[in-house]
Structure 1
Amino acid sequence: MALNDELFWLIGEFAAVVHLAIAGAVTIHVLLYKRNVGAAVSWIGIAWLSPFLGGLLYAIMGVNRVKRRAKRLLRQRTQPGIAEAASAGLPPDDPLASLEFAVGRLTGLPREHGNKVEALRNGDKAYPRMLEEIGRARMSVGLESYIFRDDAAGAPFHQALIEAQRRGVQVRVLIDGVGGGYFWSGTYRRLARAGVPVARFLHSYFPWRMPFVNLRNHRKVLVIDGRVGFTGGINIGAENLQAAHPAHAVRDTHFRFEGPVVEQLTDAFVDDWLFATGEDLPDKDWFPPIDKAGVVAARVVTSGPDEDNERIEFVALHAISCARKSVRVVTPYFLPPEPLTMALGLAAMRGIEVDLIIPERGNHAVLDWARQIPLRPLIEAGCRVWLLPPPFEHSKLMTVDDSWSLIGSANWDTRSFRLNFELNVELHDTGFAHEIAVATRGCRRLTVAELDAAPLPVRLRNGAARLLQPYL
């Protein structure tokens, strides 16, 4: 009996020493690499108060291992002089000239003039145009999507991609390893069996080889022959086909591009494919010379844990600070980092018309609960919050002074701004800003009185849900 007691004592002492070592290692890593004070304190507390589990959670969700590798790969495609060109030639009469300078410094990319941009509402309009362009492809097709379902919407894409591959087009398809179906991806299996090069972003069935579960590729990009591009908020799934009256319908907005900015879209896809597979795609098939096609000035803004993961957030902050008349934001999820909430409130307090347009009911109840907390101070500051009735609106749009727009894949939440790989496009064109602005007609305005009318248990639930913001 005494021998067993001594053995148990030794096991307990050994476990305590291992816990101290793990918690100490987490603390050192957090102090060296975590810039956000709240996140740093939380991770240190979890590591010390949750033996072994805290260290495991930090290893899975708290450590960014992709930054160094991605930067090494991205440098292979870096073009000299781009950063300098980004901040040169600012038009002196542009009221958003300071924003142009800031975004150029952030991205290292020039604002490309001479683009044609077309807004496509829902999958009913976007999918046929995308399929038409894939059918016309002669050199290359690059498609990446967070969700790519094997359903009534996905099947035509499968066929179009397979046919393009068979006629000699270089086809590459990238699907997120979680959003595209962690345990089963019918799209991946169908395309792979047909010989189409397809990859799943940061995916592995083995947990010890999947340390990036919290880092997702949320980008939606289609580039054809390096001359036509699509991006926006639409995934590939039957829920986006309004004419079919799906059970859980999703409204969304996608965009078709022609002109010089397509090279930046293609470059983003090629870098993602290089990161996911190690294959460097040949320039001659993916980067042809591109002529001007319209009058819109545009620039791609990417963000993710492989580069400055606050880049899109910083662009939004700069845009709000430069606003002189209005700021309009359309987003399916609203749980932004504190600096953005404060910037919107301060803009409203200095007389800027700030409109925030969100779904009345989202597709994730916890996110709906949590958003009630940051909405109250915004309404009190003078922001107008509009609730869109069903079906669920998934568009991500921002306009400033009816002349500058930001469209793409990033939601207004911490996950999109600081964890996901996202891609947005900034656009300078007054007519286009008017075109994509979602009218508040038919929306219901949210008031402080409505928030206060919620019973105490509901308000407590909402406050508790807000604590999960870094993980939602």
Structure 2
Amino acid sequence: MQDMVAGIAAPVERGLAWLNTFWPAIAATIGVVLAVWVTLHVAQHKRDARAAAAWTGLVWLVPVLGAALYLMLGVNRIQRRARQLTGGGIDAALRAGAEQGTPLQTDQLQALARLVGRLTRLPLTGGNRVSLMEAPTALAAMIEAVDQARDSVFLATYIFGNDAAGRPLADALVRAHRRGVQVRVLVDGVGALYSLPPITGYLRRRGVPVQRFLHSMAPWRMPYMNLRNHRKLMVVDRALGFTGGANIRAGYIQTPARIQDLHARLEGPAVAHLLLSFAADWVFTCGEVLDDNYVGELNAGGVQARGINAGPDADFDKRRLTLMAAIGAAEREIRIVTPYFVPDQTLLATLQLAILRGVRLVIMVPEKNNLRLVQWASLHAIKWLAREGAEVYFSAPPFDHTKLLTVDGHWVQFGSGNWDARSLRLNFEFDLECYDDPLAETANVLIDQRLDRARPMSDADFRAMARWRHIRNALAHLLEPYL
């Protein structure tokens, strides 16, 4: 027996001794092979040269770990997986409908409409009614709509709090489910964790079909932590829609409110675009194909509107290109309200060119952001626009989560998307573009109300800022591709 043990132990000891001698060379070889593979993959698949350079530098400077991070966060297989789940049916539905040449206010807007139509493969629909609402009003309207639902309720959101805002809506969804309404709820896998215990368990125990987008407790099944579904959509009876920037959180409705936001009630053919977006996300998540045929009014109002899906899949860069086109179409004024303003260099240059053309640029961001790093990076980007002549305002508390863009009093865009790399490249977003003067006037009134309480920040104010703050902001802005 001892001879047998000794016979086994001797080769093991020799193997360990060999590893002890050569492990640095083995580790170096593995690190180099992985770094070369990642470099080649990055070179072929990354459109953004800065992101490509950052990943390449990381895998060479941090061997093995850098490659592991790239495999977890840098490789995008979402589009391929989505097509496997949908069988191409949703792709075909999203391509349906040729661009309709509807007369608009200016030639520039006509060109913008054609461009966005080609990007989205969706028609610009007439006959819509769009009602902009502050978040508390919108939440009450959503609960009322669910209670009146007779056929279906489809809800997608990033955050669905298990709190004073979320539970009343959850209870309305439960009531709808119990009276035979087809209820489907989709919550982002990370966003669901903003409230513990998650509202998903509350709904599931009461029989409501609910899913988490890209969620799994097993790390090997959750390789897309940075790809989040940030969309906020609700469609009732395949006829009435709600969309905007508001999550479902108690901070909106408490007294005093901690957050303010904008949402909208939508009637008309553009609701079909919300339906298509939800149906695609739902079948991607769980494989169930829903009826996405719009059955509502065809002439509910006078707004021409179109949904814009954006994400790291087949919809990559659609939102960024839409923003650039809208800025280029501006002749008089651009107004931007956003909580996170860290545009890339191309968007920043496009805004600078608009100012040089004589377009008035108004930018409003929160005075106190909930993400300090983003706020510092934002200050660095904004100061260059302020030097060119942009009007910069810091909105007073509560934290303003509104995402709103108007151009020349004719064009309005609102939804879930921000002006940062996460929204422009990584998140799944949904925005609505609208061509309508009365709606643009309503949006500008809402902006004016915020401007009345905001603090202007001039170029002189930026120049008077302490030098260490400029350095801090510049260092934060170096992380722009990741914010």
- Is the structural similarity TM-score above 0.5? yes
**Greater mean alpha carbon deviation, residues 110-119 or residues 2-11:** 2-11
2:216 is aligned with 1:221? no
Summarize deviations over 1:309-333 as a string: whole Å, max 9, x none.
2101111100110111111111011
2:110 is aligned with 1:97? yes
Which whole-Å CA distance do the structure 2 matches of 1:182 and 1:50 have between them? 32
Name the counterpart of 2:6: none
2:347 is aligned with 1:344? no
2:304 is aligned with 1:297? yes
Structure 2 unaligned spans of 5+: 1-12
Correspondent of 2:322 among 315, 320, 323:
315
Which whole-Å CA distance do the structure 1 matches of 2:271 and 2:103 have between them? 23
Correspondent of 2:135 among 103, 110, 122:
122
SS of match in other structure, 2:354: helix
Name the counterpart of 2:284: 275
Summarize deviations over 1:153-197 as a string: whole Å, max 9, x none.
111011101111111111000001112217954201001111111
2:477 is aligned with 1:470? no
2:456 is aligned with 1:445? yes
Superposition deviation, residue 380 in structure 1: 1.3
**Greater mean alpha carbon deviation, residues 356-365 or residues 3-12:** 3-12
Residue 268 of structure 2 contacts residue 296 of structure 2 at CA under 8 Å; is this kept in 1?
no
Q: Which amino acid aligns with 1:465?
A: A
Name the counterpart of 2:376: 369
Superposition deviation, residue 458 in structure 1: 2.1
Residue 242 of structure 2 contacts residue 264 of structure 2 at CA under 8 Å; is this kept in 1?
yes
Which whole-Å CA distance do the structure 2 matches of 1:413 and 1:177 have between them? 21
Structure 1 vs Structure 2 CA RMSD: 1.9
Classify 1:175/1:75 alpha carbon distance in 2 versus 1 (closer, same or farther; 3 Å).
same
Which whole-Å CA distance do the structure 2 matches of 1:456 and 1:191 have between them? 52
Name the counterpart of 2:365: 358
Superposition deviation, residue 289 in structure 1: 5.2
Residue 213 of structure 2 contacts residue 285 of structure 2 at CA under 8 Å; is this kept in 1?
yes
Which whole-Å CA distance do the structure 2 matches of 1:368 and 1:200 have between them? 29
Classify 1:240/1:92 alpha carbon distance in 2 versus 1 (closer, same or farther; 3 Å).
closer
Residue 302 of structure 1 contacts residue 424 of structure 1 at CA under 8 Å; is this kept in 2?
yes
Which whole-Å CA distance do the structure 1 matches of 2:316 and 2:36 have between them? 26
Superposition deviation, residue 79 in structure 1: 5.0
Summarize deviations over 1:400-446 as a string: whole Å, max 9, x none.
11000111000111110111000000001101111112012232211
Correspondent of 2:333 among 311, 326, 331:
326
Name the counterpart of 1:31: 43
Name the counterpart of 2:275: 266
Q: Which amino acid aligns with 1:447?
A: S
2:419 is aligned with 1:412? yes
Which whole-Å CA distance do the structure 1 matches of 2:269 and 2:209 have between them? 27
Classify 1:184/1:202 alpha carbon distance in 2 versus 1 (closer, same or farther; 3 Å).
farther
Name the counterpart of 1:154: 166
Superposition deviation, residue 127 in structure 1: 1.0
Structure 1 unaligned spans of 5+: none
SS of match in other structure, 1:77: helix
Which whole-Å CA distance do the structure 2 matches of 1:457 and 1:9 have between them? 49
Q: Which amino acid aligns with 1:89?
A: G
Classify 1:432/1:278 alpha carbon distance in 2 versus 1 (closer, same or farther; 3 Å).
same
Name the counterpart of 2:392: 385
Name the counterpart of 1:434: 441
Classify 1:355/1:163 alpha carbon distance in 2 versus 1 (closer, same or farther; 3 Å).
same
Which whole-Å CA distance do the structure 2 matches of 1:456 and 1:65 have between them? 43
Residue 387 of structure 1 contacts residue 444 of structure 1 at CA under 8 Å; is this kept in 2?
yes
Name the counterpart of 1:18: 30
Classify 1:38/1:82 alpha carbon distance in 2 versus 1 (closer, same or farther; 3 Å).
closer
**Larger-Rg structure:** 2
Summarize deviations over 1:275-320 as a string: whole Å, max 9, x none.
111110135xx53254311111100001001223210111110011
Which whole-Å CA distance do the structure 1 matches of 2:345 and 2:83 have between them? 28
Classify 1:139/1:20 alpha carbon distance in 2 versus 1 (closer, same or farther; 3 Å).
same
Which whole-Å CA distance do the structure 1 matches of 2:98 and 2:431 have between them? 20
Name the counterpart of 1:254: 263
How many residue pairs get aligned? The number is 465
Name the counterpart of 1:108: 121
Q: Which amino acid aligns with 1:274?
A: V
Superposition deviation, residue 449 in structure 1: 2.3
Which whole-Å CA distance do the structure 2 matches of 1:115 and 1:161 have between them? 26
Correspondent of 2:200 among 173, 188, 205:
188
Residue 71 of structure 1 contacts residue 307 of structure 1 at CA under 8 Å; is this kept in 2?
no
Superposition deviation, residue 377 in structure 1: 1.3
Seq. identity, %: 42
Superposition deviation, residue 245 in structure 1: 2.0
The runs of at least 4 aligned residues of structure 1 exceeding 6 Å deviation read 1-4
Superposition deviation, residue 454 in structure 1: 2.6
Classify 1:61/1:141 alpha carbon distance in 2 versus 1 (closer, same or farther; 3 Å).
same
Residue 324 of structure 1 contacts residue 352 of structure 1 at CA under 8 Å; is this kept in 2?
yes
Name the counterpart of 1:208: 220
Classify 1:25/1:184 alpha carbon distance in 2 versus 1 (closer, same or farther; 3 Å).
farther
